[in-house]
Amino acid sequence: MSIVFCCPTRGKPEYLNDFLAQTIDKSRLPDITFVVGIDADEEEKYAKSELRKHKQVVWSVEPREDSLGAKFNRCVKAAPGADWYIMGVDDLGLQTIAWDVYVSQLAEHYDDGVGIVNFGRQWNEPGLPAFQMSSAKFIELQGWFMAPFFPFWWHDTWNVEMGQLIGRNMYIDIEVRYPKQEPMTPRRDIEKWALFFDLTRPLRVNKARQMMEKMNIPGWRKYELIQMVPQWIAERENVNSRCRDPLWGLKFQAERVTDDVDERHQRLQEQAQAILLRMEQEEKKVEDVPEAKAA
């Protein structure tokens, strides 16, 4: 089983040198590759990284993408042909010795090779994994490794929900090391992106049904998963409530937003509006279909 650990980073070479180095040191599989994705405007900042000479590390340097998900997808393209791809983090370290062995053993339970393995817990969001590994077949069926719609967050939550919808979301508890002080990465419009994530949930439900048609799932299990969707939607609607709260968002962003909306953020906002408009138009088409007349 070949694994690629995708780790996009920006503005944090000291964190990368510390945390990714530990993650590599604790790994044991001989054919695991670590892809570090940096932006072209920061190449010099990472030029002296201690990881530059590491034989297992591949460096991807491209112009900065608009979304973090797109940057993850770029890391996948930098190391094609692997069986599994991990969503890595540049300021978290994996402390369990042979963590990659444990994760890969769990992944082997997916007999058709489609699924997600979540591992480690987020300190500030206990219900979400710190890391997740997606199979190449899952990525192929979904159309991307990470959803390319968000400037931060939610790309991983998107995959968590997809894994739940198709019944392929196993979890293993791997010890994670967090920084003593969280880096103050810029964040803005949290409540708007949280709402956008919730409003696009029908896209995930529809995609999951399409994926299940191409997966090796017994008929009874497929029926069970589909019947659980209404209850699942009701439960998921409250998960994002804190992020949708404007007051919480303003407090969180207080020390993180120091400049005006840049062109990247503006393009993502326009893309989000276009997606919601298409969803509304598609829904209207369904509503406008005339009912079949009885014979």
How remote is the C-alpha of 266 from its chain's centroid? Answer: 21
Query: How far apart are alpha carbons 163 and 138 in whole angstroms?
Result: 9
> Does 261 have pLDDT greater than 80?
no
pLDDT computed for residue 237 by the predictor: 85
Pair 77, 5: CB distance under 8 Å = no
pLDDT computed for residue 87 by the predictor: 98
- The pTM of the full predicted model, rounded to 2 decimals, is 0.93
CATH number for region 3-177: 3.90.550.10
Of the chain, the end-to-end C-alpha distance in Å amounts to: 57
Pair 119, 108: CB distance under 8 Å = no
> Does 294 have pLDDT greater than 50?
no
In the block, tokens 């503006």 appear at 266
Domain residue extents for the chain: 3-177, 190-288
pLDDT digits (tens, 9 = 90+) for 177-233: 999 887 778 788 899 999 999 999 999 999 999 999 999 999 999 999 999 999 999
User: Largest Cα–Cα distance in the chain?
Assistant: 76
Query: How far apart are alpha carbons 5 and 27 in whole angstroms?
Result: 11
pLDDT computed for residue 295 by the predictor: 43
